[in-house]
Structure 1
Amino acid sequence: MKLLVCFGTRPEAIKMASLVHKFKESPSFEVRVCVTAQHRQMLDQVLDFFDIVPDYDLDIMKENQTLNELCGRIFLKIDEVMQNFKPDVVLVHGDTTTSTVCAWAAFHKNIKVGHVEAGLRTYNKFSPFPEELNRQLTSRICDYHFAPTSQSKVNLLNENIGSENILVTGNTVIDSLLWTAEKLNKGYENAAIIELKSLLNFDKKVILVTGHRRENFGEGFLSICKALAHLANNNDIEIVYPVHLNPQVQKPVMELLSGISNIHLIAPLDYPSFVWMMQKSYFIITDSGGVQEEAPSLGKPVLVTRETTERPEAVIEGTVVLVGTSSNKIIAAAQNLLDNTDDYEKMARAHNPYGDGKAASRIVEFLEN
């Protein structure tokens, strides 16, 4: 079977890495990897760490590119790849523009499509934007749906997708996380980790922060930054914030937080350094979907700066709390974790509803059969 694995962003690369290696171990597949480089620098870091060399690199990113421009450039370039390789199956991941456009392009050529991390839903097309509608559109196109959880499968069944085309796998991000954590525990270290060790005082509680969602641009990020400033100024803590490269994120963060001594604004971390930082943090404030899945495996509470989540399982389990972008809600929830040991311990219990680290093996076996 000729298999084309397509991805473009750092999160996709992390979640597809274990799959790429598992497929290449199987004699049943001729595998080629195509990256769009929707995230250039951050994508390359992940490819290097997981030792993946793309067969096709579309290199489509331009500064201040609109979503429509991005879609158009991917359509044009992926068409050439599919014409050249003529895959039997195209494998895409999750909710990115890369995933949806590559799936759609495969459909135009009557090529079967498999969707990894299928079935996540908020049913609010503007939250997360544009990811929620990307997921729904990709589900209408795909032939094989690899759902990470039972709830994801229920969502797909409710949309009249046949159960014979759905496989509950767990999430491949846990495969990558457990592999990386084991490597770190055996002593892996890089320049970023060494620098973090010298930068932060780990005798204090360390809060890790990330943020990049489009729906939070503007007032949302201003409100989040005000909350972080309040927490830093009123607690003997360390806050470390790897700031996303998007100018819509950089501007408010630098303007509101750069002068506060116990807030450390640093460049985006490569994947192993970020996993190491999650391990060392007391809790995490984020709008990331992937962190909502990863942190419970490490026993780290997560405050999610979004109004909705397509990952409700961890909210139900109690390891994740939605706080939105209200400064008051973020401050109240964070202060409670800092002050209330019982509430912290309830959230910090290491239980993960998203998988056991064998998702990639299940997907490979399904397509082999």
Structure 2
Amino acid sequence: MSQAKHILCIVGTRPEGIKMAPLIKALKREPWARVTVLATAQHRDLLDQVLSLFDIRPDVDLDIMRPNQTLPELTARLITALDNKFAELAPDVVLAQGDTTTVMTAALVAFYRRIAFGHVEAGLRTHDLDNPFPEEMNRVVAGHLARWHFVPTERSRQNLLREGIADTAVHVTGNTVIDALLEVAASDWPLDIPLDPSKRLVLVTAHRRENFGEPFRAVCRAIRILVDRHEDIEVLYPVHPNPNVSATARELLGDHPRIRLCAPLDYAPFVEAQKRAYLILTDSGGVQEEAPALGKPVLVLRTETERPEAVDEGVVRLVGTDQARIVEEASRLLDDEEAYRAMARGVSPYGDGEASRRIVEVLRGEL
């Protein structure tokens, strides 16, 4: 390599910040790489929290978020803003992670500008464009525009090969979220929420767009039933700021003495909450990856998942948003120690904490 290659790393939401942070730090240690971090701030406060934790300061901040933004409005603003910045910065490579609107538009603009695009956490599929929406479309589009596909598992690799992606472009690296998780989980972090240590903690995260409305109301009703039936549990629910989530959560759950609703937690306290939890209910993709590595059973509030490896391993179970099903499956884990132990095995099919190193090795060898 005659001169440093300019690597533009793009982050827009909190999960992207978490999963890109170990890779950004690894690339910055490489003498052949000149790294620029661009934040679209698709989610403003949530992204800022996690970048601060990993001591990453964006070089460029588009501050794209607007109240009540629609997907077409967000997409249009991102395409225009990213195109202007790509023209100004002239990177050799663009890297982005996952399946957000930020990632899809970054891949599209890189394609228009003929800049090589690397997709981190590539190859996840439900094969249903409505679930999750719009994430399945975002990652399919990004995947067909990428030069490098950094996939977390062999199953993800097979997904891409079936779509006609060249085998030589697909690299099984593991998931960078495990890199980040192991770094943060090695320390104990304060959790400044009054919790009863005599109660078993049930951690809840639920914010998926496709669950808005009656499906999410059913989830909230199920949580309330669980707490009423099990006097020895307490629920902690960091509530997403989207009003479709926060208004309903406070309406249906806000007055219960053993349900703690709080603002979204910074990443380190959230990892601490996962470590302390007995059971986790979530519709989050990242939690499906992290919690099994911490030995916590996960019930997924979705009917499909693009992360089937943990389901196959028996440490994650899909329960959807049916009220009775959620209550039944959660009660089984709360009441049956053998069933609980079968899921709480500390098995992670998503990596060993070395994914960032493997991605850097691929880029070093090809640039």
TM range (shorter): over 0.9
Match of 1:342 among 320, 338, 363: 338
* Matched ranges for 1:341-360 at <5 A: 341-360=337-356
**Mapped pair 1:301 → 2:301:** no
* Structure 1 position 290 matched with structure 2 position 298: no
Determine the structure 1 residue equivalent to 2:9.
5
Matched residue type, 1:213 = R
Look up the SS of the partner of 1:361 in the other structure: helix
Q: Distance in 2 between matches of 1:9 and 1:160?
A: 29
CA distance in 2, matches of 1:35, 1:183: 27
Distance 1:280 1:139 in 2: 36
- CA offsets, 1:244-291, max 9 Å, x none? 000000111111111111011111100000000000000100000000
Distance 2:159 2:97 in 1: 17
Paired residues for 1:227-242 under 5 Å? 227-236=222-231, 237-242=233-238
Q: Which has the higher helix share?
A: 1
CA drift of 1:28 comes to 1.1
- RMSD (Å) for aligned C-alpha atoms: 0.7
User: 214, 218, 238: which one pairs with 1:223?
Assistant: 218
Residue 89 of structure 2 corresponds to which residue in structure 1? 85
1:183 CA displacement:
2.8
Please give the residue correspondences for 1:264-275 in structure 2 after superposition, counting only pairs within 5 Å. 264-275=260-271
1:109 and 1:80 mapped to 2: Cα distance? Answer: 11
Percent sequence identity is 52
Q: How is 1:89-108 mapped onto 2 (pairs within 5 angstroms)?
A: 89-108=93-112
Residue 149 of structure 1 pairs with residue 153 of structure 2: yes
Q: Unpaired runs of 5+ in structure 2?
A: none
Q: Tell me, which stretches of 5 or more residues in structure 1 are unaligned?
A: none
Partner SS, residue 277 of structure 1: helix
**1:20 aligned residue:** 24
Task: State the Cα distance separating 1:234 from its structure 2 match.
Answer: 1.3
Residue 120 of structure 1, CA deviation: 0.3
Task: Return the alpha-carbon distance in structure 1 between the equivalents of residues 285 and 340 of structure 2.
Answer: 21
1:175 corresponds, among 174, 179, 188, to 179
Instruction: Show the 5 A alignment for 1:250-289.
Output: 250-289=246-285
For the residues of structure 1 that align with 2:16 and 2:245, how far apart are their CA atoms?
A: 21
- String of CA shifts for 1:15-51, please: whole Å, max 9, x gaps: 0000000000001111100010011001000011000
AA matched with 1:203: S
Q: Deviations over 1:179-227 (max 9, x none)?
A: 001133xxxx44xx1x22xx11122111000011000000111000000
The answer to whether the aligner puts 1:211 opposite 2:181 as a matched pair is no
Is structure 2 residue 56 aligned with structure 1 residue 52? yes
Matched, 1:202 2:205: no
TM-score when scaled to structure 2? 0.97
> Aligned with 2:55: secondary structure?
coil
State the alpha-carbon separation in 2 of the partners of residues 178 and 202 from structure 1.
Answer: 25
Whole-angstrom distance in 1 between the partners of 2:318 and 2:66: 33
Q: 2:242 aligns with which of 242, 246, 253?
A: 246
C-alpha displacement of 1:84 = 1.3
Render the CA deviation track for 1:129-149: whole Å, top value 9, x for unaligned: 000111111111111000000
Answering whether residue 322 of structure 2 is matched by residue 326 of structure 1, we say yes
Please list the CA deviations of residues 225-252 of structure 1 after superposition, one character each: whole Å capped at 9, or x if unmatched: 0000101111111001000000000111
Measure, in 2, the Cα distance between the counterparts of 1:23 and 1:319.
33
| Distance in 1 separating the partners of 2:227 and 2:199 | 12
Matched AA of 2:326: I
Residue deviations 1:140-167 (CA, integer Å, cap 9, x gap): 1111000000000000000110111110
**For 1:201 and 1:337, how far apart are their aligned partners in 2?**
20
Distance, in Å, in 2 between the alignment partners of 1:144 and 1:183 is: 33
The separation in 2 between residues aligned to 1:122 and 1:35, in whole angstroms, is 28
Give, in whole Å, the separation in 2 of the partners of 1:212 and 1:70. 18
Q: 1:159 aligns with which of 157, 160, 163?
A: 163
Q: TM-score, normalised by structure 1?
A: 0.97
**SS state at 2:91 partner:** coil
Alpha-carbon distance between aligned partners in 2 of 1:3 and 1:202, rounded to the nearest angstrom:
46
Deviation above 2 Å: which 4+ runs of structure 1?
A: none
In structure 2, C-alpha distance between the alignment counterparts of 1:202 and 1:308, rounded to whole Å: 34
Q: Which residue of 2 aligns with 1:122?
A: 126
What letter is aligned with 2:195?
L
What's the CA shift for 1:7?
1.3
